[in-house]
Structures are given as C-alpha cells and as structure tokens.
Amino acid sequence: MNTENETIEFDVLFVGAGPANLAGAIQLMQAAKDKNLELEVALIEKGAEVGSHGISGAILNPVALKELMPDYMEKGCPVETTIQGDALYYLTRNRAIPIPFIPRYLHNKGYHVISLSKFNQWMGAIAEDMGVNIFPGFAGKKLLLDEKNQRVMGVQTGEKGLDINGKPKSAFEPAIDLLAKVTVFGEGARGSLVKELDSIMGLSTGSMPQAYETGIKEVIALPDNSGFEAFRGRSLHMLGHPLGLGTPGGGFVYEMKENRVALGYLVGLSYEDPLCDIYDTFMQFKRQAFVADLIQGGKVVEQGARTVSTGGYFSMPKLIVDGAVLVGGCAGIHNVPALKGIHVSMKSGMLAADTILDALGNGDTSGDGLARYPDAVEKSWLKKELYEGRNFYQALSKKGVSKFFHLGAQYATGGRGFRDGMPIEDDSRTLKPVKNSELVTDRSKESSAYDGVLLVDKLTGVYLSKTIHREDQPPHLIIHDMDLCVNECFPKYQHPCTRFCPGDVYEVVEDENKEGSRRIKLNPSNCFHCKTCDVKDPFNNITWTCPEGGDGPGYTVV
C-alpha cells in the first residue's frame, strides 16, 4: 500500500454508523474497560450526522439491546411506542380482509416502535461518551489493501471540494487514509466498499445471490379522531394490493408519538415487469381504501427510501477476511420473515466486537485470528433466527397461491419446506422485455393527482427527506455506457431506471447532440442513497458510489 495522503492509525475502525456498528463499538469499549485495556477506536459516517442516513420501519425486538444495555430505558432509549398487539390484512383495491392467523414471527407484543434515525443518534452519543472517536461527514470511498490485495489495512475517505470535472476548488480537502488493525464494515445493504471487497476477495463465492427489497417510508402526522384510532397499540401489516401475489412485498403502519404514524411499503426487486414504478406502487398503497381511511387528513412530515437485504442465510457472504469483518445489512444479516433487521444487526456487531478484542489481545487479526466471529454467529440465537428464514424470500417469490404452500411447509418444518436451499435469481436478471402493447404513457394514467400534503410527488418526497448534495461535485452515480441505455435498454425495457428510482434521479431528455434521439440525464442531487439502481439495473450499467461526505438525506424521524 503506497500513499501520500495524511494517515491516521487506530486499533479498530468502524465504517458506518448503523445499529450493527454502534452496538459493536459500545460492546468493544465496555469489554476493553472491563479488562483495563485502552484502545484507539474510530467510527466514520457518510451522513452529516449520526442518524442522518438511518431509516427503517422500525419495530425493535429489544433482545440484543437488553444484552448490551439492560437499563436501556433508564438511559433514555428513544422508544416511540410499545406494541400491544398485531393485525394482518390482505388488501384488494377496495377491501381489507383480516387474516386471523398471524405467524409467530409477526408477533410483536412487547416490542418497540422506534425511529432508527433517533435510535442511531442516541447510540452514537453513548459510544462517543465511552471514548469512540466518531467522525460524521466522512465517507469511506476506497479500500486500503496490502500490496498483495490479501489484507484490509483500512479505508480512504473521499476528497471534498472537487468540481464537477474532479478538479480541486478553493475549499478542497484531500482524502485521509484511516488505517486499523481491524476494519469493521457496517455499511448496510449493498455497501459500496463491501461490493468492492467482494470483487477482489470473492466474499460471496459459494453463496446464493443476495436479494433485495426497496422500501419507501413516511412519517405522517394525523388529525385528531383519525381512522387509525381503532388500531392504536397494534402493528399493522398488509399484503396483496397493489403488488398482488406475483411479487414479494407489502406494507405496514406503526404508531408513533405525537399522533404520528410510520407508514411504508416494500417492493421485492425480483419483480419482472419493467414498467413497474416503485414510487407509484407506494402511492397506490396509500390510496387503497382501507389505508386511505387510516391516514385521511394527515400530512407527510418526512420521507425516505432504502434497500433491504432479504436473501437470507444462504445469501450471506463470508464474514471475515484478513484485517476485517462484516456486520449487519452489508453481511446480509436480516430476519426476513419477521421483517426485522435491527436486533440481528446489533447482535452481529456485538459478537464481532468480542472476537476483535480477543484477536487484538492475541496479536492476530488475520482471518484465522478473527475466525471466532462466524463461529460465534453459528452458536448464538442469531443463527437460529436467520436459519429459520433461510428459504423464506425464495418462497415469497413464487407466483400466485403456490407461495402459500411453500410458506406453510416452511412454517411447519423450521424453515426447510419442500426443498432446502431453494434457488434465488439475481435481481438484475429478472426483468422481462416490454410487450408491444405496454407503453409507459398508458401506465402513467393510473396515477391520480398528488395533493402535496398527504400524497406527495417524488421531488416533494426528496425535499421532505432533507436530501442535500453539492451540485457542482463529480456525479456519484456512474452510468458506464450511455449508448447501451439508448440502443439496448430502451427498446427492451423502456428505461426502467426512471421507474425503479424513488427519487427521480434518472430522467429521459432529448439528446442535444443527436437530433431525434434521447439520453438519460442524471439528477444526483435527488438521490436517497437507497442503492436500488445499483441492484436492479438489468445491464449492471449503473454503479452507486459515495458522494462527498456529509451529503445525502438528513433524516431526523424516519
């Protein structure tokens, strides 16, 4: 590794301020204190503040939090509400049919509704008080490897103050090389550094492809005596309309403080229809008669979007390499049937922290020295949760009612079902070509008008996410071959990027250099950092990279 940048060395470097890394950092500092060890620990976060990029449903199973901090309520954990019961519905366009049998993994009584943004802020403050050096506004842009590309040495932060052509401006700040004995990657789903590491070291070799869902979430302020009054205290989950039974996905409504609700909808990125518009699907969910009655008279306070890793246990990559470990969503750690990732992510970070402390004490932070981490995962309750859902998303991806036979068999057999190791197809390979009779203009007529208050358009949603990017920086979204977009993607799929992006980043415009032709115009400043484009593009022609540190959403309540 040759570098001319400023270099700072740490014992442990956490990349990303999500629940996995924050729990891991707290666990590490507490364990080091118990052993009278002094460690130099750093955590970098690409958002402007800890919590700025934190978004989830979110129901928190407190099992890992109780292990980490038994007195979490006394320490001010920002719980919105505690769930008293559950309800599950199958939706048609105009009806909501109650499903009397609620699977055990959707039993949420006693669990907490939280804002992940607030939760991460709270956890970050505790970690900082314990001695973790937290640096928000610094994106991990590049892996630092040894000369043989066999060991992770740390990460390089992104440069700041570049113009749109990549040249330094007057306020230029160079990159910094952050070196560590152990680097902990906790980037969340589709982490860009983990993606790079996988391409070099083959982390996913032998695993099934990872699968993803894209979720759009809003926090909505309700009027007094709203239709939601009858459901206070209960978690509401819904499947069916508008996706039907052909595509994985569904919606939720959770009670929050101050007469607010968290409302969201997830769409499995294994969908086949190239004309599927994820944001329009979300709007159709909100307009469904039952859902519309729940939120009538409400006002959207904040909106956001993010992909979720849903492939399950068989899609998890290798968790360790020399000098580094993977935790949380970027490791595919998610309880798919329960629709929960926070507690399992936290547990992964805590188990990794215990291993890291031992490895540092033994002076061996190679893959062999860190091997206790995946072993600990296998022996903990974390493995049990993940393993029960090992075939769940595959069954959910089946067409029509056949999926319920698979799901029922899995429910009765601890997750095995009719076939253990059901295959998964890569999400970028599932789109079917557009039929001649299917035109984008026809589909757009299905959307009724937005009111700008409860039903907001994409650009208003971006505004409500408080997303900010400096306009004159190099684009962080890379289209590798513009000609491919026009000559192959449009005839076959009619530019699906304009519909799978929930933030209106991709726009079709006339090509000023070619009369009668069109091109894709990028609007990177609208980016939610959801990474759907990096997953779903059918030609793998789009790569998401980190923009300048501190840019992106400014979530505070989602």
* DSSP letter assigned to residue 190: T
Q: Which of 3-7, 84-88, 123-127, 356-360 has the lowest mean pLDDT?
A: 3-7
- Residue 268, domain member (yes or no): yes
Same structural domain, 272 and 367: no
Same structural domain, 31 and 176: yes
Same structural domain, 383 and 398: no
**Could you tell me the end-to-end alpha-carbon distance of the chain, in angstroms, rounded to an integer?**
40
Domain count, the chain: 3
User: Can you give the pLDDT at residue 442?
Assistant: 41
Mean pLDDT, residues 21-35 taken together: 99
In angstroms and rounded to an integer, the radius of gyration of the C-alpha atoms of the chain is: 23
Instruction: Kindly indicate the confidence band of residue 3, based on its pLDDT and cuts at 50, 70 and 90.
Output: low
Instruction: Kindly indicate the confidence band of residue 511, based on its pLDDT and cuts at 50, 70 and 90.
Output: confident
- Residue 459, domain member (yes or no): no
Same structural domain, 340 and 194: yes
pLDDT digits (tens, 9 = 90+) for 282-294: 999 999 999 999 9
CB 359 within 8 A of CB 370: yes
Q: What angle do CA 424, 430, 433 make, to 5 degrees?
A: 160
Instruction: Kindly indicate the confidence band of residue 448, based on its pLDDT and cuts at 50, 70 and 90.
Output: low
Instruction: Kindly indicate the confidence band of residue 1, based on its pLDDT and cuts at 50, 70 and 90.
Output: low
Mean pLDDT, residues 139-143 taken together: 98
Residue 136 neighbours by CB under 8 Å, 6+ apart: 17, 44, 45, 47, 48, 49, 50, 52, 550
CATH number at residue 160: 3.50.50.60
User: Can you give the pLDDT at residue 439?
Assistant: 43
Q: What angle do CA 383, 327, 65 make, to 5 degrees?
A: 70
Distance in angstroms (rounded) separating the CA atoms of residues 188 and 331: 8
Q: Does the structure show a pLDDT above 70 at 317?
A: yes
pLDDT digits (tens, 9 = 90+) for 320-332: 999 999 999 999 9
Same structural domain, 92 and 174: no
Instruction: Kindly indicate the confidence band of residue 440, based on its pLDDT and cuts at 50, 70 and 90.
Output: very low
* DSSP letter assigned to residue 398: S
How far CA 529 is from CA of 138, 404, 468, 526, 551, in Å, comes to 15, 33, 11, 9, 10
Q: Does the structure show a pLDDT above 60 at 117?
A: yes
Same structural domain, 128 and 57: yes
Same structural domain, 171 and 41: yes
Domain that residue 101 falls in? 80-110+218-308
Instruction: Kindly indicate the confidence band of residue 4, based on its pLDDT and cuts at 50, 70 and 90.
Output: confident
Q: Does the structure show a pLDDT above 50 at 444?
A: no
- Report yes or no on whether pTM surpasses 0.85: yes
Residue of 202, 245, 272 whose CA lies nearest to 425: 272
Q: Does the structure show a pLDDT above 70 at 446?
A: no
Same structural domain, 374 and 349: yes
User: Can you give the pLDDT at residue 441?
Assistant: 44
Same structural domain, 203 and 339: yes
Residue pointed to by tokens 């009719």:
418
Q: Does the structure show a pLDDT above 50 at 146?
A: yes
Same structural domain, 223 and 359: no
How far CA 531 is from CA of 196, 203, 211, in Å, comes to 15, 20, 13
* DSSP letter assigned to residue 468: B
**Residue 320 pairs with which residues in a beta bridge?**
325
| The pair of three-digit structure tokens given for residue 368, joined into one six-digit string | 């062999």
How far CA 133 is from CA of 113, 122, 185, 359, 408, in Å, comes to 29, 15, 16, 21, 48
Same structural domain, 186 and 146: yes
Same structural domain, 293 and 265: yes
Mean pLDDT, residues 483-499 taken together: 96
Mean pLDDT, residues 370-381 taken together: 99
Over the chain, what is the mean pLDDT? 96
